[in-house]
Amino acid sequence: MSGFSLVFVTRDHCPLCDAARPVVERVARLVGARVRVADVEGDDELLRRYAFSIPVVLDHRGRVLAEGTVRFGPLLRAVLAARVGLSPRSR
CA-wise closest residue to 73 among 91, 48, 54:
91
So where are the chain's domains?
Answer: 5-83
Give the pLDDT of residue 59.
94
> Residue 39 above 70 pLDDT?
yes
> Residue 1 above 50 pLDDT?
no
Lowest mean per-residue pLDDT among 37-41, 68-72, 86-90: 86-90
What is the CA 37 to chain-centroid distance, rounded?
Answer: 9
- Distance, in Å, from the CA atom of 83 to the CA atom of 31, rounded to the nearest integer, reads 9
Beta bridge partners of 28: none
Give the pLDDT of residue 84.
84
- Mean of all residue pLDDT scores within the chain: 91
Give the pLDDT of residue 49.
95
Q: What class has domain 5-83?
A: alpha beta
Do 54 and 69 touch, CB atoms closer than 8 A? no
